[in-house]
Structure 1
């Protein structure tokens, strides 16, 4: 029986040419999926979004330096294009990141370690209005959102010593300090962040240490205690 429904209009936003090409080859034989565009940054995709040419966006969580970080990009698209369905595809397969993008309105997440067949299945499910997470990621997310009772004494309070709310302190960070901290919390090391933003390791390390000073923190352990709060801002 022929499918009488119009094809789902899919777009890809990813700054890696090889990823875009691989997704193009995977989607071109799927008759119910119409790849309407492949873009490397937010500026390129804007006109297509404004014209309503896209039903579903496959979004890379970490784009190039000139673009928003993944969470801010999701919030931007949800604000300006509320009907757009978003599926995040990322090499950063962290439950903290997945938790925040789902809260921000993303309908699905597929790690880049997964097979293309899983991504295509996820596209179809999200396009139908249902949420998609792999079984293992759903399990990790459940564990992330239900910490063991023994860990409760170690969960960070929202107020730092001295009476300042962590949200206020985070807003004192420069945009570059914030993007470094977000990437670090998302699982990238200093070298990877330096390569992503085309900066030196010394510059990235300095920006990270500057951010820690502003936040009143002395160690990575302390920073990761606030991971959920910081990524969500």
Structure 2
């Protein structure tokens, strides 16, 4: 379902998604009230919604909380013009599954919808620094894990490709020196990338990394 108080934007998104065989828009609404009433009649896997609606309408955080409380199987995906570290952090804590800037193209939106529909958190890489103020990325993941979803969560969107490959190799039992030799990088660079990934995921040591992957699945 789509929620935005700009009809032209909704129509453009709906037209773009109509070419995707696996994505079906089952409703398009201009107010939170219309959306909630529609969800009571017909479920949806993902709600693509603006964070800032009309002044007389619900604020984004309240709506995300209402969606999680009343329609727990529906995953909110925010598409917004502007975002701040507080917006990203608070939205995730409230129960949002993804955040995408309106400056992105339709292809990126389609990727975000599919990611969220699979039970995975979607974030643009440029939004990752906004999470540094959170106590831990695991704080968000732990909250999500309490919901009854079969698909394990992965936070690959938070990590660079090099950070992901370093963690994958480490989980395969390779040492820092072995990983450095494999990718023709210095051991110092590998260590830096590993620690950067740990910081983004909110984990402090190797033990927490193994616990993370056991609970939520390994990095793709």
Deviation at 1:87, TM superposition (A): 0.4
Conserved in 1, the CA contact under 8 Å of 2:112 and 2:122? yes
1:49-128 → structure 2 map (5 Å cutoff): 49-128=39-118
Other structure's SS at 2:49 match: strand
Number of residue-to-residue matches in the alignment: 135
User: TM-score with structure 1 length normalisation?
Assistant: 0.55
Within 2, Cα distance between the matches of 1:97 and 1:57?
18
Deviations 1:186-219 (A, max 9, x none): xxxxxxxxxxxxxxxxxxxxxxxxxxxxxxxxxx
Deviation at 1:136, TM superposition (A): 1.1
Supply the RMSD in Å over aligned alpha carbons: 1.4
Deviations 1:100-148 (A, max 9, x none): 010011110001111111111000000000000011112x2244448xx
Structure 1 unmatched ranges of 5 or more: 1-10, 147-233
Deviations 1:154-175 (A, max 9, x none): xxxxxxxxxxxxxxxxxxxxxx
Asked if 1:34 is matched to 2:42, the reply is no
Structure 2 unmatched ranges of 5 or more: 136-220
User: TM-score with structure 2 length normalisation?
Assistant: 0.58
Within 1, Cα distance between the matches of 2:88 and 2:29?
22
1:194-209 → structure 2 map (5 Å cutoff): none
